[in-house]
Homo-oligomer: A and B are copies of this chain.
Amino acid sequence: MTVLVFLDPAFPSGRVADASVPQLLATDLGATRGDGVFESMLAVDGKPRKVSMHLDRMAASAAALELAFPAPGQWEPAISTALAEFGRVHGEPQAVVKLILTRGPEGADQPTAWVQASPVPASAARQREAGLDVLLLDRGYDSTVAEHAPWLLLGSKTLSYAVNMAAIRYAREHGADDVIFTSSDGKVLEGPTSTVVLATVQNGTKTLLTPELESGILPGTTQGALFQAAENAGWQLGYGPLEPTHLHQADGVWLVSSIRLLAPVKSINAEPIAVSPALTAELAALVETVL
């Protein structure tokens, strides 16, 4: 099902491996400490989208963890190999491409790096179409802590995602689909696997807003691409701080990410918010132009 290609100096195009048999040492610090970084991107017709944005962000995450980051010239051929193999096996036009880099086996001082290509989960299109019921959950952090506490790795996409996964489970058990994290000082942060974007339309001026990066959130690659396209199309852009009232007052709220793309939020804490199919269509079209 999943195609696996390891970065391996002996294989310039990456070493294809069988995902159905063990490929990782049990002592890999990725598995025992969540000590590593990752990216997920969408590939369409064998081409990964926003690959340089993802590689740049992954390099920044690796730097925050003091992990040596393989050069793009090592990742890119491995991604191509994975997508060629995925096309051969699956024949589907779309794939999820994951890049993973761990600190490697304990004591070895040799990172483990690989590319996975797998089918896009059916839930992505379903949630994009149906929209999302979202819970606001406290992320526990103050929105100012990231700047003076680099050891918290805020804004880095690490393999330590247990809290993100627990938050989504919590939402599902409480009748929702997804989560928007808030800071302990009441600011809107991000989703566990997405960026929050909202739109306002006033007197013919359309504005896209997203929380500011200084609050310790991950810089969204899809949000970044969308904002660029929107600006080119005449939208105003704005960056937080945002509070939950802004979500309730907006003309539309979306969770934006590389695989699910633009998923409209239809309720927050079980309270319906404004949903605009027209804005969703317009923004989705903008996403398509840049990707």
**Which A residues are closer than 8 A to B by beta carbons?**
1-2, 4, 17, 19-36, 38, 64-66, 98, 100, 102, 106-107, 114, 116, 137-142, 145, 148-154, 158-167, 169-170, 184
Question: A66 and B116: CB pair below 8 A?
Answer: no
Query: Are A31 and B151 also in contact (CB < 8 A) when A22-B22, A23-B26, A160-B161 are?
Result: no
Which of B24, B149, B151 touches A22 (beta carbons < 8 Å)? B24
Residues of B within 8 A of A106 (CB): 2
Question: B33 and A162: CB pair below 8 A?
Answer: yes
Residues of B within 8 A of A26 (CB): 2, 4, 17, 19, 23-24, 100, 114, 116
Which of B28, B65, B148, B151 touches A24 (beta carbons < 8 Å)? B28
Distance between Cα atoms of A38 and B169 in the complex (Å): 20
Residues of B within 8 A of A19 (CB): 25-27
22 contacts between A and B (CB under 8 A): A2-B106, A4-B26, A17-B26, A22-B22, A22-B25, A23-B24, A23-B25, A23-B26, A28-B31, A33-B159, A33-B164, A35-B162, A36-B162, A138-B148, A140-B140, A140-B142, A140-B145, A140-B154, A150-B170, A151-B163, A151-B166, A153-B162
Residue of B nearest to A216 (CB): B140
Question: B142 and A32: CB pair below 8 A?
Answer: no
Distance between Cα atoms of A163 and B150 in the complex (Å): 9
